[in-house]
């Protein structure tokens, strides 16, 4: 099931930053904690989502830089 959510550029930028920080924690810090159980598929999915969100932001930059656009 897919959902559509409208987000501002600033909101997407914030989500990318927060998700990147969380992924770093889950990949490099949490494994050092006693009892931690790794979910590598979640890390892989999270990285894919961050990449997709960054692509959306990049498309906005390209569109905004087109001649005649305000």
Query: What are the pLDDT digits (tens) for 5-58?
Result: 999 999 999 999 999 999 999 999 999 999 999 899 999 999 999 999 999 999
Using an 8 Å Cβ cutoff, are 12 and 57 in contact? yes
Q: Would you place residue 60 in the very low, low, confident or very high pLDDT band (cuts 50, 70, 90)?
A: confident
The better pLDDT of the pair 51, 68 is held by: 51
Average pLDDT of the chain is 91
Indicate the pTM of the whole model.
0.78
DSSP code at position 33: S
Using an 8 Å Cβ cutoff, are 26 and 43 in contact? yes
Pick from 53, 49, 45, 43: which is nearest to 23 by CA?
43
């Amino acid at each position: 099931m897919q959902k559509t959510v409208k987000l501002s550029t600033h909101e997407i930028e914030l989500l990318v930053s927060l998700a990147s920080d969380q992924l770093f924690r889950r990949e490099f810090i949490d494994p050092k904690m006693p009892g931690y159980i790794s979910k590598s598929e979640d890390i892989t999915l999270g990285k894919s989502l961050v990449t997709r969100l960054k692509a959306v932001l990049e498309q906005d930059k390209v569109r905004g830089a087109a001649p005649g656009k305000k």
